[in-house]
A = this chain, B = another copy of it.
Amino acid sequence: MTAESRPQAPGTVRPGGRTARTRAAVRDAVLTGLAEHGYPGLTVEYVAEHSGVHKTTLYRRWGGVEDLVADALDLAGEDSWTPPDTGSLEGDLRALAREVVDTFGDPSAAAAPLAFVAAGFQSERAAQALRAFYTERFARCAAVVRRAVERGEAPADSDAAAVVRDVSAPLFFRAFVTREPLDIAVADQSATATLAAVRAGAYVTKEGSG
């Protein structure tokens, strides 16, 4: 889809210009609203009031609350984040895990992922946006495993998404399910376990090995 075919699509017109600024303001209002009231309490009225964008504009360009949340998550996925490149797989996995722990340990940084993950329980659109967000994140992290294979630290055909998912999963599990504390030791434990599994070939894909 091009900007010409759907000129009203949020963010497709003049990046850095008025539309991008409007979209960012709306995103900020969505995040504030999610943090304050949770998904069930978020309204288009709230977003209008806190973004300075008129309610009718929000309805016309985004649709409703579900679309506002999903677009805020889409926007979060458009950042320039790249995975760590420390020179070793162990270093990269530790850095990835520590980044997750640092995020959840900082209330202002944790607010957005917390709000999005919570919204996923109540909105199918938010759940779809979460899936797209993480699929894209895991794709960026493929570089970590590719470099490890090149350095001889990981078997060829290791499933990069599975490696990155598994180093992150125990941290998200603690933060959002078992509600256990997170610290650097926990991050390093996860990196150590994932590294051992990579070395043992536990992530070699069936297609590659068969």
Residues of A whose CB lies within 8 Å of any CB of B are 38, 40-41, 114, 117-118, 120-122, 127-128, 130-131, 134-135, 162, 165-166, 168-170, 172-174, 176-180, 189-190, 192-197, 199-203
Contact = CB atoms under 8 A, between A and B. Distances in A.
A180 B122 contact: no
A112 to B, nearest CB: 13
Contacts of A131: 178-180
Contacts of A195: 202
Contact of A169 (B121, B169, B201): B169
Q: Counting chain B CB atoms within 10 Å of each CB, which of A38, A162, A193, A203 scores highest?
A: A193
Contacts of A166: 166, 169-170, 190, 193
A121 B128 contact: no
A77 B38 CA distance: 27
Given A40-B41, A131-B180, A196-B197, 17 more contacts: A40-B40, A114-B121, A117-B121, A117-B176, A118-B122, A131-B178, A134-B177, A134-B178, A134-B179, A162-B193, A168-B173, A172-B172, A195-B202, A196-B202, A197-B197, A197-B200, A200-B200
A128 B179 contact: yes
Contact of A177 (B41, B176, B190, B197): B176
A45 B41 CA distance: 20
Contacts of A201: 196
A165 B180 CA distance: 11
A188 to B, nearest CB: 10
Contacts of A199: 196, 200
Q: Counting chain B CB atoms within 10 Å of each CB, which of A134, A172, A174, A178 scores highest?
A: A178
A175 to B, nearest CB: 9
A178 B132 CA distance: 8
A78 to B, nearest CB: 18
Contact of A120 (B40, B169, B176): B176
Contacts of A128: 179
